[in-house]
Amino acid sequence: MKVQSSIFIGGQWVASTGTESIPVVNPATEETIATAPAGTAEDVDRAAKAAAASFLAWSQSSLAERTAIMDKAAGGLAGRAEEISAFIAAEIGKPITLARGEVNAVVGGLRQIGADLPTIQWEETIGNAVIVREPIGVVGAITAWNAPLLEVFVKACAAMAAGCTVVLKPSEFSPFTAFMLAEVFDEVGLPAGVLNVVSGTGPVVGEAIATHPLIDMVSITGSLRAGKRVMELAAQSLKRVALELGGKSPNIIFADADLERAVNDGVDDCLRSAGQVCAGLTRMIVPVELMDQVAQLAKARAESYVIGDPAKDSTTLGPVANASQHARVREYIRLGLSEGATAVTGGEELPDGIERGYFIRPTVFSHANNDMRIAQEEIFGPVLTIIPFHSDEEAIEIANGTVYGLGAAVWSGDPERARAVASRLRAGRVRINGGAVNRSAPHGGFKQSGVGREGGRFGIEEFLDLKAMLT
């Protein structure tokens, strides 16, 4: 078992002021594989002071200096890629092939920072005013467990690239990828105090970050409830907030689309990482006359997934990340049945041949309506809801008919029709006919899916503020 006894503050690995530890459980085996310190408000205070002390020097570092650090970190991370990928698979049950993809995406993202920084308009002149963009200050980053390394990158690394210093709280379910990344940055010469990592729970460490007077901004990925709580606490000191929250993303498939391709792509997007993806396409909206055909295509695709040990290359669907999530998803499956949706495949029972672990059968509901809770609430598990429509207008109305607005997709054989519908969807990212996710493009939500954007230069600009100097 891996025991982490220290947190990272001011460039040093130091003991937490707390005496308790947090178990990290492998969701495929239900066994404790590691422990991490349960940090305290006092730990956050030490980290915030270290970040504040290092801010002036780091904020005045050159773009070349920051780029060099990020490039070196990319090399260090690449050198530990297999180790970190294996731990992601063990911490949260993400299939190893997807875990490797996450690590590779972060390696590429760190290298891309050097290209992104010069594209930002750091200074411009308007009349007698010189307008400059400056780092906002100390950033509190609170990350989720579903993409533990990528979440740290889009928050902590983007903030550091902007010239900010960071107090990072990784999810208590997956803290070790953050510790490993801190080791990498320490080894490549990141100045002390620029990155600080305090493990712990949301109610203790997260709330201490949101209320600390030395922290200027809080960026969180989490549930709608967690985002509202952070915004409430941050408002007490008027901190800026960036919130990447939930989603119930629609996938409109018109009759003139390549139906099999569209359905398979939609199922894959819904089921990636066992459905634990904020922008996953969890509502498939299809012509009423194609409902049964689509349901059978979706059933076949879902049943093609290989469920099992996430450490094996052959596994394409691992467990959900923890016991509470397992119970939550199973309850939603029962709810879908009680609401009257048709279960085409899946169910709440463990998959065949599996006797332990937080595994969920990939579940497809058809003949649902948009008023059902399974169509309105974020399940965060491998559950797809198929909803019929009678007209383009009704499809758009259904797609926009939730409190969320994170992701969406449109499929049509007519590109102009697809683009016109996409322009009317209230979502921060819309994929048209299977357009690939572009990590240099902005990612974030409309409505209650959040505030702010992540990704590429847009994610770096999120941590900048404007100053006007008048002559």
**Structural contact between residues 328 and 335, judged by C-beta atoms closer than 8 angstroms:** no
Mean pLDDT of 160-179: 97
Distance between start and end Cα atoms, the chain: 62
Strand intervals (E) in 58-211: 123-126, 129-135, 138-142, 165-169, 195-197
Mean pLDDT of 194-207: 98
Mean pLDDT of 151-172: 98
pLDDT confidence band for 379 (50 / 70 / 90): very high
pLDDT above 80 (res 369): yes
pLDDT above 80 (res 305): yes
Mean pLDDT of 41-57: 98
pLDDT confidence band for 208 (50 / 70 / 90): very high
Is residue 270 annotated as part of the catalytic site, yes or no? no
> Residue ranges of the domains in the chain?
2-245+449-470, 250-438
pLDDT in the model for residue 198: 98
Contacts of 453 (CB under 8 A, 6+ apart): 242, 428, 442, 443, 444, 459, 462
Cα–Cα dist 52/158, whole Å: 17
Q: Which of 102, 151, 244, 454 is catalytic?
A: 244
Mean pLDDT of the chain: 97
**Structural contact between residues 148 and 179, judged by C-beta atoms closer than 8 angstroms:** no
Mean pLDDT of 109-120: 97
pLDDT in the model for residue 157: 98
pLDDT confidence band for 1 (50 / 70 / 90): confident
Mapped onto helix, strand or coil, the DSSP state of residue 310 is coil
Mean pLDDT of 115-120: 96
Task: Residue count of the chain, please give it.
Answer: 471
pLDDT in the model for residue 3: 85
**Structural contact between residues 250 and 408, judged by C-beta atoms closer than 8 angstroms:** yes
pLDDT in the model for residue 288: 98
Q: Which CATH architecture has domain 2-245+449-470?
A: 3-Layer(aba) Sandwich (3.40)
Per DSSP, 234 falls in state H
pLDDT confidence band for 2 (50 / 70 / 90): confident
Mean pLDDT of 229-238: 96
Mapped onto helix, strand or coil, the DSSP state of residue 14 is strand
Radius of gyration from C-alpha coordinates of the chain: 22
How many CA atoms lie within 13 Å of 20's alpha carbon, on the beta-carbon side? Answer: 9
- pTM of this structure: 0.96
pLDDT in the model for residue 177: 94
Place of tokens 């996450």: 102
pLDDT in the model for residue 161: 98
Cα–Cα dist 455/277, whole Å: 16
Strand intervals (E) in 257-297: 283-287
Cα–Cα dist 336/345, whole Å: 12
Is residue 278 annotated as part of the catalytic site, yes or no? yes
pLDDT confidence band for 215 (50 / 70 / 90): very high
**Structural contact between residues 173 and 24, judged by C-beta atoms closer than 8 angstroms:** yes
The amino acid at 374: I
> Percent of the chain scored above 90 by pLDDT?
99
Mean pLDDT of 73-102: 97
The tokens for 339 are 């609401």
The amino acid at 315: T
Query: Cα 409–410–411 angle (5° rounding)?
Result: 130
The tokens for 104 are 């590779």
pLDDT in the model for residue 380: 97
pLDDT confidence band for 145 (50 / 70 / 90): very high
- Which helix or strand (DSSP H or E) is residue 50 part of? helix 41-59
Mean pLDDT of 414-440: 96
pLDDT in the model for residue 87: 94
Q: Which of 157, 164, 270, 278 is catalytic?
A: 278
Q: Which CATH code fits 250-438? A: 3.40.309.10
> Percent of the chain scored above 70 by pLDDT?
100
CA 193 to chain centre: 25
